[in-house]
Copies of this chain bind each other. A is one copy, B any other.
């Protein structure tokens, strides 16, 4: 297919044959907009709006404090965790939803380092990629201020080969993001986890750009810990609570330091001494943000009847066709694809380098194609198979080609106002 010319009729047929086509109706999308930024903030499922309404019209305002039991608020972190678990290959009792991705990383990272300190003293390195999403690197640096450099030290490497070479005997934890937020490169979870384990290294995967976008097999890959985000491909709403996966085999040995009352064995005993909950609830800290968490809960129901392999297939097709259509336009040859074309190495987004990426992005947004820009020169396009159509790929590329051909993007209004260094 790669070398065939893609026609408009072909694209229309793809939508007609798409088994996920009706899923779009589960979302409320603005008209006249092609939304290629679901990897930054997922679009709103109708069920999320309904739940938000129910929360204020009934649960909070009428049932007040009794809603903790009556509407099962107290169970939401676990309940939402199980729904996410199904999407990331986790058997029950291993996933919980709470806090932000950053805070959750702090918890699992502390667990992993303390576990290594107890079992394999001398290992202090947290190995990660220099291109990892910065908050992941910052959280390691923050933990190092408490533990000291002798117990926690960040080592950064570049690509997959460097990761493997970097697995030296002083490495305690391997911290990787499955899909790179900039390039969209997908790492091989199974292989890297296996290699790390063979070297006595514990593994944390950040699923921010993969959960809900492709099948993930945490249990099958014997991953130790994972964290991820509720507001990208899971469509949970702006700043939706994040999640934590911790393999059941580790639960008894863990000691996470953000020991708030919701992670206590019996929170309503109001004991003076912390005693952790036995299961995945040990990762809870404070009172959960119920409004946000309940909306995420409703949003996840969109996935209830979705086959993840089908989702993945459509995701790959969307990005594949997008890129082929780009290639069909001579005027778009100045866009340099940063994302691997090999499907096994590609997440659910495409990243193009272009010296005027910022202006291109702004001109696209003005014309209703919501993309985003990542410094210094990347135009990033995310593909959410639940609500995007193949025709959207066609239209978006046509608009992009118009912008380039007409030099629309060179207008002063699209210039970067603040220097991004």
Interface residues of A (CB under 8 A from B): 28-30, 33, 35, 37, 40-41, 43-44, 48-49, 52-53, 55-57, 59-68, 73, 99-103, 106, 110, 114, 130, 133-135, 137-139, 141-143, 145-147, 156, 229, 231, 237-242, 255-262, 264, 266-274, 285-293, 295, 365, 370, 372, 374-375, 420-421
Selected from B55, B142, B156, the residue in CB contact (under 8 A) with A258 is B142
Q: How many identical subunits does the complex contain?
A: 2
Query: A60 to B291, Cβ gap below 8 A?
Result: no
Q: How far is the CA of A257 from the CA of B261 in the complex (A)?
A: 20
29 contacts between A and B (CB under 8 A): A29-B61, A35-B64, A37-B64, A49-B57, A52-B56, A56-B237, A73-B238, A100-B260, A100-B285, A101-B286, A101-B287, A102-B258, A103-B258, A103-B285, A103-B286, A114-B145, A138-B261, A138-B274, A143-B146, A229-B287, A238-B290, A239-B287, A266-B421, A268-B375, A268-B420, A269-B375, A270-B375, A291-B291, A291-B292
Query: B61 to A270, Cβ gap below 8 A?
Result: no
Selected from B49, B142, B257, the residue in CB contact (under 8 A) with A61 is B49
The minimal Cβ–Cβ distance linking A408 to chain B, given in whole angstroms, is 19
| B residues less than 8 Å from A146 (CB atoms) | 110, 114, 143, 146-147, 257
Question: Besides A44-B61, A141-B259, A237-B290, 19 other CB < 8 A contacts?
Answer: A30-B62, A35-B64, A43-B64, A65-B372, A100-B289, A106-B257, A106-B258, A133-B270, A134-B271, A135-B286, A137-B274, A142-B260, A143-B146, A239-B291, A239-B293, A242-B286, A270-B375, A289-B291, A291-B291
